[in-house]
């Protein structure tokens, strides 16, 4: 968030998959929005601090709660039971202003910007440094939909449509292709060979193979293609 004006909402967002394992992230607020933000951060291995005078029902129902202190529990998050203070953003990579107070969220965003952190404001997509997609995961396969904050309900609807089409078998397909990548690396295959094989794989009907014979059929076809590439 810029400290003096709104961000330009016409500039496309830069999509990236962040490695957050062990990285400090801050959530300010203990309500429903905070409850939605917390689980994906924990799945990614982030070290999350929640600052809120109290925790709402959704967070309380999510499982055993950490002690209201400054010591992180084994799940990777801890709760500081008080109102937000500017020093809370120090050292944080991502800051989620997840309160229902727009003025407070903007203050949190400005404070985060001054500290060099990226902020997501629950009450203002135009003033957020980043947006969180409506997403689902199948192992290493992750699919998300963003609308730049303009139509979150549409993003959720499109995500549900895509999710319904992507079965659990695709998780194994991704693992098979990962094994292929590792195999090529072990063989010290040159860049041209890798690119050629990747183009050939892109032309394969992986969806059809998966539907007809499951992940084993995909694995067999990929291995055949790999052997052909060696010939």
> Is residue 153 domain-resident?
no
Give the whole-angstrom CA distance, residue 183 versus residue 230: 12
pLDDT at 219: 81
Task: Quote the pLDDT of residue 229.
Answer: 59
Residue 208 forms part of a structural domain: yes
Q: What are the start-end ranges of the H helices in the chain?
A: 32-43, 57-60, 102-114, 152-165, 169-186, 191-203, 206-230
152 in any annotated domain: no
187 — alpha (psi -120 to 50), left (phi > 0) or beta?
alpha
Measured CA angle at 35 (ends 34, 39), to 5 deg: 110
- Using DSSP, state whether 131 is helix, strand or coil: coil
> Among residues 79, 109, 132, which one ends one of the domains?
132
Three-state helix/strand/coil letters over 184-218: HHHCCCCHHHHHHHHHHHHHCCHHHHHHHHHHHHH
Q: 46-97 pLDDT, tens per residue?
A: 999 999 999 999 888 765 555 555 444 445 799 999 999 999 999 999 999 9
| 40: in domain | yes
* Residue 204 DSSP label: S
| CA-angle at 7, arms to 5 and 13, nearest 5° | 170
Q: Greater confidence, 42 or 75?
A: 42
pTM reported for the whole predicted model:
0.80
Tell me: pLDDT of 209 over 90. Answer: no
The whole domain housing 32 covers 1-132
* 170, 210 contact by CB (below 8 A): yes
Indicate whether 146 belongs to any domain: no
Looking at per-residue confidence, does 223 or 159 come out higher?
159
Contact 23, 42 (CB under 8 A): no
The whole-chain average pLDDT of the chain stands at 85
Bridge partners of 121? 97
Helix axes 169-186, 206-230, angle to 10 degrees: 10
Torsion of CA 77, 28, 140, 169, to 10 degrees: 100
Query: What is the tens place of the pLDDT at every residue in 120-158?
Result: 999 998 899 999 999 999 888 999 999 988 899 999 999
Q: What is the DSSP letter of 87?
A: G
**Of 113, 94, 124, which Cα lies nearest the Cα of 27?**
94
Number of domains present in the structure of the chain: 2
- Domain boundary, last residue among 81, 116, 132: 132
The answer to whether 99 touches 120, Cβ cutoff 8 Å, is: no
Strand, coil or helix: what is 78? strand
Q: Are residues 50 and 123 in the same domain?
A: yes
């Amino acid at each position: 968030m810029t400290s003096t004006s709104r961000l330009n909402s016409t500039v496309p967002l830069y999509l990236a998959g962040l490695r957050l394992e062990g990285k400090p992230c801050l959530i300010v607020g203990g309500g429903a929005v905070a409850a939605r933000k917390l689980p994906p951060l924990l799945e990614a291995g982030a070290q999350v601090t929640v600052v809120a005078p109290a925790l709402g029902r959704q967070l309380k129902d999510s499982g055993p709660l950490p002690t209201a202190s400054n010591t992180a529990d084994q799940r990777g998050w801890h709760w500081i039971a008080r109102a937000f203070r500017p020093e809370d953003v120090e050292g944080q990579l991502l800051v989620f202003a997840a309160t229902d107070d727009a003025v407070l969220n903007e203050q949190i965003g400005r404070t985060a910007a001054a500290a060099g952190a990226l902020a997501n404001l629950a009450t203002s997509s135009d003033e957020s440094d980043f947006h969180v997609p409506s997403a689902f995961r199948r192992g290493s396969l992750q699919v998300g939909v963003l609308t730049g904050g303009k139509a979150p309900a549409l993003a959720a609807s499109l995500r549900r449509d895509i999710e319904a089409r992507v079965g659990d078998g695709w998780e194994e397909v991704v693992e098979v292709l990962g094994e292929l990548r590792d195999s090529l690396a072990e063989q010290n295959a040159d860049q041209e060979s890798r690119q050629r094989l990747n183009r050939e794989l892109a032309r394969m009907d992986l969806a059809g193979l998966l539907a007809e014979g499951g992940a084993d059929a995909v694995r067999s076809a990929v291995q055949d293609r790999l052997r052909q590439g060696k010939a």
